[in-house]
Homo-oligomer: A and B are copies of this chain.
């Protein structure tokens, strides 16, 4: 049997029954984005767990990694990339330090500043986890044709730009 409707279709039906005058159609997109994000997050977490890490760890470590040599950023920069508050970032850095994936260094010029640097162990971890991670993501997307993927990507970019998610400075 081929499934042609998802959970959001069912929810839209319910609204149509209960309040036909209310226009809930935006949910067809917004609701799906929300559900998809959560479901994908869960799947990816399982993958990370097999490598002994949590998803938020990859979030930080990969951000440092792709910043390139010398693989270090201030907590403030990390916050800009990762969409969490500075308080959360302090906690994340603590945990990553405990695990030996990063080290804190004081900036010699401005002693208010801290630099978070990837250790060799942290760099190795990203290199070990990343390929499988993106392969797994690619696998989730193989239900879409190339053309569908291009359209989807474009539409999502439009929405993100409209919401002000513009590129950060280095």
> Which residue numbers of A lie inside 8 Å of B, CB to CB?
3-11, 14-15, 17-19, 22-30, 32-41, 43, 65-68, 81, 83, 130-131, 134, 137-138, 140-141, 143-144, 148-149, 151-153, 155-163, 165-168
Contacts and interface: CB of A to CB of B under 8 A. Distances in A.
For A6, A81, A83, A138, the residue with the greatest tally of chain B CB atoms inside 10 Å of its CB is A6
A141 B30 contact: yes
Given A32-B157, A148-B158, A138 B7 contact: no
B6 A161 contact: yes
Given A66-B18, A156-B32, A158-B143, A166 B130 contact: no
Interface of chain A, helix or strand or loop or mixed?
helix
A158 B43 CA distance: 17
Given A11-B81, A30-B137, 16 more contacts: A4-B161, A7-B168, A9-B167, A10-B167, A14-B66, A18-B65, A18-B67, A19-B130, A26-B140, A27-B134, A30-B40, A33-B40, A35-B160, A43-B163, A140-B163, A151-B155
A139 to B, nearest CB: 9
Contacts of A6: 157, 160-161, 165-167
Contact of A153 (B29, B137, B159): B29
